[in-house]
Structures are given as C-alpha cells and as structure tokens.
C-alpha cells in the first residue's frame, strides 16, 4: 500500500522568475541595501553588541525628520489628538480639557470634525474632505495671489501617491517618455520602471549650482523623439532633491515657454517649498504662480505637489499631501477621479494634518506665539546645520559640495583614489556605494550613494541629510571627517 505521506514540497506558484518583471527591475536606493544594513546594525546595538566602532546608527539616507528626534509642532499635534478623541470635546468636559489644551486648538478640532461630518474613522470623499480641500485652495491663493479651485485639488497619501497617479495616467505604453532630472529622486525612475514607461534623463549642471539649461533639455527631447519615444511630460523638483537648488523666477518662465512649445505637461514637485535657506537671494516661487504670470497660462498643463513630510513639520508617517491640476483635459480629470475612487479615499488623519499645515495659528491666536517660536527655531537650526555640513564636506580632501539653497540634503562630489576604485571593482560595487558602505561600517552613519540617484558618468557623489540633532551635530560632523581622512589615507 502506497504511503500517504508525501514529503516533496510543491513548487511555489509565485516566484522571482515568474513575478511582474517590472517590479523585479525596479530600484529605490533610499531604502536599498545600505538602509537594510543600517537596520541590521541598529538591531545589533539594541541587543547589546559591543564590537562595533559606534554606539548609534544615524539615518541620513532619508528626509525623515522625526526619526532623528525633530520635535513635532505642538498646535498640530494638539488638534489631531482632539480629533482622535472627540469625547474630549464634549461641552461638559471643556473646563478640564481647557487646562491641557489652548482654546484655539479645541475650537479648531471642533470645526474640523464638523467639516468632516462623521468620525475620522469613516471614508471621506475620494478627493479628500471638501472643506479641507477648500483650506488648501485658500492657502494656494494666499501664497500665489491667484485663485485655486478646490475641485482641481486631490488630497493624497503624501506627495508620492500623487506623483504615482499622474505618472500612471500619463503612461500609454512603453514608448511613453517622461523627462526626469539627473540627479533625481528615485521615486520617479522606480515608478516609471514599474509602469513600463521610458525615463528620459536631462542633466543638471553641478558647476553652476545644479542649474537647468532649457536648450539642453530641448535637444534631449528632440533626440528622444527622433528615436520613437513619445515624450509627454517634464518633471521639475524645486527645491531640488538631492541637489538642493532653487529655481529663479526667470528660469521658471523659460521652462513654461519650453513646455508650451514642446507640448509637455509639467510636473512640479514642490514638497520642500518652506525649506528655503537663502530667501533674500533665491526665494521660492511656485510654478502655479509662474504659470499665472505666463502668456500661455490658459493652455500649459501643470500638476504641482506638496506634502506634510518636509518643511518644519516633518510628519512623514502620517502620509499627507496634495496635488493641484491646472489646464488638464476634462476627460482626464474624470479618469483621475476614477483612479482616486478605486482607493476610496486618502487617510483622514493625513488630510487633517495637510489642512493644519496650510492653516496654522494666526497672529492674535493663543497658540500663535508658541507656533512661531517652534517653526522659526526649527528653520534657523536647519539653516545652521546646512551651512555647517557644507563647510565640513568642502574641507575634506577631494570633496566639493554645492550649497543647499533649499530642501534638506547636501550632495557632495567625492574624488576617490585609484586604489579605492580598484577595491570597489574587486567587490563588484560602484565606487560611491563602496565609500558609503565603508562609512556606515565605520561610523554608523547611513547615506545614499549618488549612483542611486543617477549622476554624470565618471563622477561620484552621495546624498546626506543635515537632520541629526543640533546638540549632537559637531560629534556627527567629527565622525564624518575622521572617516574620510582614514579612508583617503588607506587607499592612497
């Protein structure tokens, strides 16, 4: 009689070989191999490891301010906590609750819950709560001096979800081309790989502060189109990530004219718009404002993005943001709404934080003084840290670093000795990845190799945030200087 025990394990239905090949090919360096190794080291330290040359892991690979102990904005957290606990807003509890919360936080929470009309645990409108979208529209109008339509706004799970939606709707087939800056934030290349679209890289000029040359981009467009690529959109990250540059208003007008002439939709990633460190020299101007001051303001198609994850707010984990559509085809906007409705709605907690970001306490409100103190303190601290780290990088042998006019990153160029290049080749690593790997193992500092963002051939970089706490910043900078000196001495 045959045995009923069958010890042969059947093959898996889903394998790496038969999965979606686009996902297999997709890469996202910000959360790549180095970030995974950093988490392993963090776990070793948590378990009491004493054999490492550092006592903490510092995650400078991602713009995640609160992971590095940036304090949340008090008023925003007060309002959100009251929205999460509506029983605290009952009139009979006000005498007690008002001893813990300022009256404007209590009033704001009541208004938000009234606007939502149900529990924040319920689905909202697929574009986001109408009243919260109206708050965003008012913010845009006040920022730019031109009106915004709440019906042209989509609240999203962070700016990334909005970017992915727009890239999805742009992609018709594998010939669809999207112009992306080099260096670029890997969200764009990863999403285009996932969609099967074609990234069309254009290069920023490092020597002139990562500037953008419209005529060079035009050549790139014509070359790509001559090879059969249907170039449809231009991505601009302003302020830049990973490069930190901030566009001049005149350059923005040239870009809009270029988009009109070449029939390109413009995607403006503006999530770092409050991270501007030379506002007198290079203030932030939104592409919406630039569009409204352009002769073709009624025809150029623009989608712009903002987020609660950056700025002085840094509420990355709440996943909130928005995008605004200008001059899109009516049929396309209907399809966008269909896409949004498939996901039912963006998370309501993120929607609330987005509305708070654009409607902070006003002068005369009980919370205004503390809000201003917190925002100004964070801003000035980020500015100081940016300048200090830039100076540290520029003092290192073989390193040059452009200043961060905006965002929360520096992107230094490293010139490595031949022995280091040979060692990297021996390990089958790109030279900047080898350098960053050695930095992590020696200091506990996790950064991202420039090759994860793409870069000009023959150059090597890395991206680092300047988010470590200011009271520990000198120590952090000292570790980087010591590592680099030792690395260069070892491989000379």
pLDDT in tens, 76-97: 999 999 999 999 999 888 889 8
Tell me what pLDDT residue 114 has: 94
Residue 26 pLDDT > 80, yes or no?
no
Q: Tell me the C-alpha distance between 282 and 251, whole Å.
A: 12
Mean pLDDT of 100-119: 92
d(CA 239, CA 270): 7
- pLDDT, tens digit, 9 for 90 and up, residues 48-67: 888 888 888 888 888 888 87
pLDDT given for residue 21 in this prediction: 84
| Residues 214, 256: Cα–Cα separation, whole Å | 10
Digit-coded pLDDT (tens) for 289-333: 999 999 999 999 999 999 999 888 888 888 999 999 999 999 999
Encode pLDDT of 435-458 as tens digits. Answer: 999 999 999 999 999 888 888 888
Long-range contacts of 53-57 (CB under 8 A, 24+ apart): 53/442, 53/443, 53/444, 54/442, 54/443, 54/444, 54/479, 55/444, 56/444, 57/444, 57/445, 57/446
**Cα–Cα distance for residue pair 323/204, rounded to 1 Å:** 25
Q: Please write the tens of the pLDDT for every residue from 461-476.
A: 999 988 888 888 888 8
Angle, CA of 240, 244 and 250, to the nearest 5°: 65
DSSP state at residue 10: P
Range with the poorest average pLDDT among 310-319, 330-339, 363-372? 310-319
Burial class (CB in 10 A: 0-12, 13-18, 19+), 79: buried
Residues 6+ apart with CB under 8 A from 282: 246, 248, 276, 405, 406
Peptide bond just before 317 cis, omega within 30 deg? no
pLDDT of 30 strictly over 80? no
Helices 368-395, 74-84: crossing angle, 10 deg rounding: 120
Best CA proximity match to 165, nearest among 339, 321, 8, 7:
339
* Percentage of the residues of the chain whose pLDDT score is greater than 70: 98
Whether 308 contacts 272, CB under 8 Å:
no
Rg (CA), the chain: 24
pLDDT at 244: 84
Q: Does 63 or 42 have the greater pLDDT score?
A: 42
């Amino acid at each position: 009689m045959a045995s009923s025990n069958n010890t042969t394990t059947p093959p898996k239905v889903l394998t790496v070989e038969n999965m979606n090949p686009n996902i297999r090919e997709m890469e996202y360096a910000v959360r790549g191999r180095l970030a995974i190794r950093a988490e392993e080291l963090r776990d070793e330290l948590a378990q009491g490891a004493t054999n490492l040359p550092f006592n903490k892991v510092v995650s400078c690979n991602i713009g995640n301010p609160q992971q590095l102990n940036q304090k949340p904005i008090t008023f925003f957290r007060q309002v959100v906590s009251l929205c999460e606990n509506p029983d605290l807003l009952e009139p009979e509890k006000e005498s007690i609750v008002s001893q813990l919360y300022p009256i404007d936080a209590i009033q704001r929470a009541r208004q938000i819950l009234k606007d939502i009309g149900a529990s924040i645990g319920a689905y909202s409108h697929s574009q986001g709560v109408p009243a919260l979208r109206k708050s965003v529209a008012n913010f845009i109008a006040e920022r730019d001096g031109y009106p915004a339509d709440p019906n042209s706004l989509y609240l999203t799970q962070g700016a990334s979800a909005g970017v992915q939606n727009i890239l999805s709707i742009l992609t018709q087939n594998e010939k669809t081309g999207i112009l992306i800056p080099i260096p670029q934030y890997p969200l764009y290349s990863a999403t285009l790989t996932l969609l099967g679209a074609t990234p069309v890289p254009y290069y920023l000029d490092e020597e002139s502060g990562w500037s953008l040359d419209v005529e060079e981009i035009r050549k790139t467009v014509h070359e790509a189109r001559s090879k059969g690529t249907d170039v449809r959109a231009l991505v601009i990250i302003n302020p830049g990530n990973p490069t930190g540059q901030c566009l001049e208003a005149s350059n923005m007008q040239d870009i809009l004219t270029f988009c009109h002439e070449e029939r390109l939709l413009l995607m403006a990633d503006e999530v770092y718009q409050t991270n501007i460190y030379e506002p007198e020299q290079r203030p932030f101007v939104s592409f919406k404002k630039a569009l409204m001051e352009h002769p073709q303001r009624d025809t150029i198609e623009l989608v712009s993005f903002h987020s609660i994850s950056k700025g002085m707010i840094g509420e990355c984990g709440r996943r909130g943001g928005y995008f605004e559509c200008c001059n899109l085809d009516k049929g396309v906007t209907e399809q966008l709404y269909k896409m949004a409705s498939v996901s039912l709605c963006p998370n309501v907690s993120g929607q609330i934080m987005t509305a708070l970001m654009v409607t902070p306490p006003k002068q005369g409100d009980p919370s205004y003084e503390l809000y201003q103190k917190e925002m100004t303190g964070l801003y000035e601290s980020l500015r100081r840290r940016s300048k200090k780290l830039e100076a540290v990088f520029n003092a290192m042998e073989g390193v040059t670093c452009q200043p961060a006019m905006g965002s929360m990153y520096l992107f230094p160029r490293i010139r490595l000795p031949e022995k280091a290049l040979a060692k990297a080749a021996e390990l089958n690593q790109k030279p900047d990845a080898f350098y960053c790997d050695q930095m992590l193992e020696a200091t506990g500092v996790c950064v991202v190799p420039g090759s994860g963002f793409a870069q000009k051939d023959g150059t090597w970089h890395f991206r680092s945030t300047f988010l470590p706490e200011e009271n520990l910043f000198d120590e952090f900078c000292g570790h980087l200087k010591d590592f680099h000196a030792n690395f260069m001495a070892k491989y000379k």
